[in-house]
Structure 1
Amino acid sequence: MMKHIVYIVLLLWSVNIFAQMEPNYGIQFYHGTWKEGIEKAKAENKLIFVDFYTQWCGPCLNMAESVFTLPFIGDFYNTKFVNMKIDAENGEGVELAKRYSVNSYPTYVFVDPASEEVVHRSKSRQSAEQFLATGKSALVPELRSGYLTEEFAKGRDDREFLKNYINYNASIYERENVQKAFDMLMKKGAKLTEPDVWKIFKANITGVNNPYFQEVVQGYDKFVSVLGKDIVDNKLYMETRNASLEELNRLPEFKGKDLNKYLVQINALVRNKEYDKADVLIRRAMADTSINQQDFIEQFRFTVRGSYWDPETPVEWLSRCASYLQYIAYNSDNRQDPYIHQEYAALLERLIRKTPGAEKVFPASIMDKPEVGAKEYSMRPKNLAQKPTRKKK
């Protein structure tokens, strides 16, 4: 008996030791009141980082689950800030959201505890790299949102400043500000062939009708010789996904052009409900080994998705869409994307329910909604609330 007791004590001791050794990955949020957070930040001589969120905000949940939990994000934010999560629609969060002019979610606010004034703000879903840059910018006065906005309004236009201004506005999806600053950068003598300028152009200046895209098209050989064919072709490919067939035919022969030509014709045929012609072209594209099939799959799945969510879609076309989704589910290299398989299963279920006589072949568990639990087959997280309906005034 004594041996058993000793064994249990040793086991509990070892579990406790390992628990203490287990690192706390990700951002560690302080859960006290706002006043307590202010006092904590003063005592530690840190800024307060606030994640303003709501319980129905999908991007908020995505950031919480996919970015805030990363070890390198936690290492930086836990060292530099007192971190707080505040529900903008509950408790003291309602007043704080109003005080700090929060009107979209997620909004990230960095506050000086001494004055309780905002020194930097950002928003929206961000990549881990963007979010790390957001935190680093809060610590550098020349990179803070208020400074950048004020200096731009004064007409400041030196190259390094404009690059910083563009990067900040790109991170919060203020595309109009990005375009204005990029125009200023080019007027100051910047060249698209310069690597740092091309990087900004590639990431932020979109569409085929702007003069910069046309400059690349007209000087295609020069750009290829300076930057490399893969780099230039990738930009042309990304920007012409929604171009017309006529526009595509006028462009140089870049890698991905044939794939985009397939997609623009397929989408036009589906929109016009010319399903037989669309099916012929789709199957030709699926068998065409000269195009990047993984890129085709990623783009084509949105065409299929648009069809099976439309309640007016005829059963015959839904049946064809099921075969396309089968191809996508079987051939996608992205094994981490469960939506590919959920979309296929959801369409099969819908197709079965719309097929006359299916109730005689398939069990009631397929034909009817589940008796208990969730009624919809969905990838929507269970802990994501429904967005409240705003009453019209």
Structure 2
Amino acid sequence: MKNIFLAAFLLMAGSLSAQVNLFEGSFEEALAKAKAEDKPLLIDAYTDWCGPCKMLDREVFQNEEAGAYINEHFVAYKLDMEKGEGPFVAMKFRVKSYPSTLFIGADGHLIDKVIGYGGVAGYLKTCGEMLEKPHFENINANNWKLDFPEFYRTTFTSDSWERAKPDPEKTNAFLAEQEDLSTEVNWSIISGMSYYGHDYLGWAVENREELLTMYPKSEVDNVVDKALSEAMKEVVEANPEISALDAATAVGTKFNMELVGESRDKLVINFLYGQQDFAGLLAYLEDGISTEPQLYMVNSIAWRIYQRNDDQDVILRAIALLEKALEKEEEHNSMDTLAHLYYKANQMDKAKVAAERTLELAEEAGADMPDTVKLLEKLSE
């Protein structure tokens, strides 16, 4: 398997002195080049206002070691999702979060869509995994200008039209007329409009297993999570005294599904997170969760607590939880969160140690941490 050799390949790649060779041309020309070279097409789907997009460009596409690996295995292409052909590609692949990376097989079929950026090592690991994944045979990039209704098209930013907030009534009326809700156009509307709400979220829950064979898991799970979250809100509004766990059980009953383990944890945590019930969140992570919380989850919650909470008891509990998670796996973003929490708890010596360790971990991962540098400057004043 190609990704098995990734680590060894990177050790010798520095001597090759290569950055990522970006193809310049139209989207269709990029697809043709990938087909001619029998390589997957890697598309950096970005916008010019996106900070993490710039970080991805700097840390990956201008990195010699990353360039050597990507050039060997992919045709690389950057596309601004808000200009020229970009909005049409964004509509086709339902790209609304940035940065996103689209992986398209040499045959033109979608391999997967990956949202976000978490450092060079993680990005290249994902690239390696894409070389082994099956393709979505129903999603052909060569058929990229689909006949989308205007209310869907105008939810995307473009230099060719004005963006507009959709009317859920139009979404419901359009979907009510469709015979097959699972087509690309209809799924794009169900998925893309889920944030604004419509009457077909429950349909996605009922048909989740089939949808997972047709569309990226991140898309399907996003719609299902939205449906369960909306149902959770309805249960709590009807019974304000109900516990989050009991509310989750009621939601499972509504959809005739057993919400246990990770699926229950996800629903409860997302609900409490949305309510900004930080004390409740920490209590659930400390005692109620079915499995030990993963570092990325603890970090996300701890950072939100740093940003939006001043209760020292909550801050100290978040520190304890994050310290425990970092004992098993050190990672620069989470260590940075810990440094900031120490600072907010007035534990300056610990904040300095954690900030310094953050920069060490970031250097190993090939990441820049300007906020950590600023924190260290404040600690040195």
Bin of the TM-score, shorter chain as denominator length = 0.3 to 0.5
Alignment TM-score, normalising by the size of structure 2:
0.45
Instruction: Look at both structures and tell me which one has the larger radius of gyration over its CA atoms.
Output: 1
Alignment TM-score, normalising by the size of structure 1:
0.44
